[in-house]
Amino acid sequence: MKEEEAHRIGATLTAARPQAIAALLRHFRDLDLAEEAFQEASLRALRTWPEKGPPRDAAAWLIFVGRNIALDAVRRRARQSELPPEDVLAEALSDTGDAEAAIVERLDGAQYRDDVLRLLFICCHPDLPAAQQIALALRIVSGLSVRQIARAFLVSEAAMEQRITRAKARVARADVPFEAPGAVERAQRLGGVAAMLYLVFNEGYSAAGDTSAAREPLCEEAIRLARLLLRLFPAEPEIMGLATLMLLQHARAGARFDAAGAVILLDRQDRRLWNRAMIAEGLALLDKALRHRRPGPYQVQAAIAALHARAPTPEATDWGEIDLLYGTLEILQPSPVVTLNRAVAVSKLRGPEAALALVEPLGERLAGYFHYHGLRGALLMQLGRTVEAREGFLAAIGLATTAAEAAHIRAHLDALK
């Protein structure tokens, strides 16, 4: 199989994954079985599609093949264990059951029409701790690897593997019903779903250079699901803020890397390449959210992104307002990463020494974070402390996850010479 064809088929499988797994879960009410059936269907696709070409509706093909695989697995389990009552077994193996049709009709009647969104709410069930909700949804819905999810959470792969395994087991023990929760329960789950969507977006947004185009669908999928959430929760300002944040960040995609795949920092980007239609959509959503007068972390982050989007030049950026907004975010959602981002605004306002005073205390908590060492090295370089700056850059390059990140740090190291 040619590399280009393999990438195309892989992208098709990734795009179809949420819908296919959600449909299989609707049929079999078993998360592990749905995921295993999808994986086996994907392997069959990799064997047959290069020769015959992908089907017109890849998701439908994967659902059909995956369902047959899962039915075979159910039959094998039935032969290996004591048989349940005949009527129960017949319903489990039925291809067209009245019970299933009734469930689908109830879901549609509750305006809970999107299989993917149902799957999101299953993964973000309140019986699971928040961290497990997000990790499980990233793995099941988006198909991210354990390594990718661990990087997003700043934990080891082994710890993340255990977290996902525990989450799956807990869902199975809880016997979570695949049906539309009521309005109150939906609102309770919304925070976990929103956090998961933003992590999916960031996984695509953080891709660089040659990989950015291949990972861009993650950003687009997260934005699509955020718009879907807005249709279900049209008066929820935090979902408006989340959608705004993603739109404004994704609007800069065409200006973030040069032709060679090197990183272009925000203040050096060609703003003519920013997607103005996406920016206009995001700014309109933010104005609508702020009218509710119920501020939250996503709205604050969106307001920061809006200040960058509205500035016609880097020099016109209102860094004072950005500093204040990051201060608000430190109160709403305390995090060393928030303080690290605030330090950038402080460096613009009060210089590198003031920014370094914010950054240095974060060393223990962000020792494994690429951007901490990169920013610290840059501030030390501005202060003329070249030996310490080199140490910071060397620590950063050891934590780089993409070639573009590593090249960006090498450029700083070359500048020190």
Going by the DSSP 8-state scheme, the letter that residue 384 receives in this structure is T
Q: How confident is the model at residue 181 (pLDDT cuts 50, 70, 90)?
A: low
Contacts of 140 (CB under 8 A, 6+ apart): 21, 31, 35, 119, 123
Kindly indicate the confidence band of residue 127, based on its pLDDT and cuts at 50, 70 and 90: confident
Average of per-residue pLDDT across 154-161: 87
Degrees (nearest 5) of the Cα angle 88, 126, 296? 145
Q: What are the tokens at 192?
A: 């976990």
Q: 220 phi and psi, to 5 degrees?
A: -65, -35
**Distance in angstroms (rounded) separating the CA atoms of residues 145 and 140:** 10
Going by pLDDT thresholds of 50, 70 and 90, the confidence category of residue 109 is very low
pLDDT for position 417: 79
pLDDT in tens, 15-69: 788 888 888 888 888 888 998 999 999 999 999 998 887 788 888 899 999 999 9
| Cβ-based neighbours of 42, under 8 Å, separated by 6 or more | 13, 62
- Mean pLDDT computed over every residue of the chain: 84
* pLDDT top residue among 144 and 369: 369
Weakest mean pLDDT among 50-54, 159-163, 164-168: 50-54
3-class SS shares of the chain: helix, strand, coil, % to 5? 75, 0, 25
pLDDT tier at 99 (50, 70, 90 boundaries)? very low
d(CA 239, CA 321): 23
Low-confidence winner among 148-157, 180-189, 196-205, 339-348 (lowest mean pLDDT): 180-189
pLDDT digits (tens, 9 = 90+) for 234-278: 999 999 999 999 999 999 999 998 888 888 999 999 999 999 999
pLDDT value at position 155?
81
DSSP structure class, residue 43:
H
- Once rounded to an integer, what is the mean pLDDT over residues 184-192? 75
What is the rounded CA–CA span in Å between residue 201 and residue 221? 8
Among 340, 347, 336, which residue's Cα sits nearest to residue 380?
A: 347
Question: Is pLDDT at 91 greater than 70 in this prediction?
Answer: no
Going along the chain from its start, the domains and CATH numbers come out as: 1-95 (1.10.1740), 110-207 (no CATH), 318-417 (1.25.40.10)
From residue 416, how far is each of 234, 262, 359, 374 by CA, in Å? 52, 19, 21, 14
Identify whether the C-beta of residue 50 lies closer than 8 Å to the C-beta of residue 1. Answer: yes
- Yes or no: say if 251 and 309 are a contact pair by the CB < 8 Å rule: yes
The answer on pLDDT for 179 being more than 80 is no
pLDDT confidence of residue 207: 66
The model's confidence at residue 289, banded by pLDDT at 50, 70 and 90, is very high
Sign of CA dihedral 303, 370, 137, 126: negative
Q: Please tell me the predicted confidence (pLDDT) of residue 239.
A: 95
Confidence of residue 132 (pLDDT cuts 50, 70, 90): confident
Maximum distance among all Cα pairs of the chain, rounded to whole angstroms: 79
pLDDT at 176 over 70: no
Lowest mean pLDDT among 66-70, 110-114, 325-329: 110-114
Residue with the bigger pLDDT between 104 and 134: it is 134
Q: What is the pLDDT of residue 299?
A: 97
pLDDT at residue 75, rounded to an integer: 86
pLDDT at res. 41:
94
Confidence at residue 270, expressed as pLDDT on a 0 to 100 scale: 96
**Residue 348 pLDDT level (bands cut at 50, 70, 90):** very high
Confidence tier at 190 by pLDDT (50, 70, 90): confident
pLDDT number for residue 105 = 41
Residue 169 has pLDDT above 90, yes or no: no
d(CA 328, CA 322): 10
List Cβ neighbours of 222 (8 Å cut-off, separation of 6 or more).
197, 198, 200, 201, 204, 246
d(C-alpha 268, C-alpha 111), whole Å = 45
Q: Which of 64-68, 180-184, 239-243, 352-356 has the lowest mean pLDDT?
A: 180-184
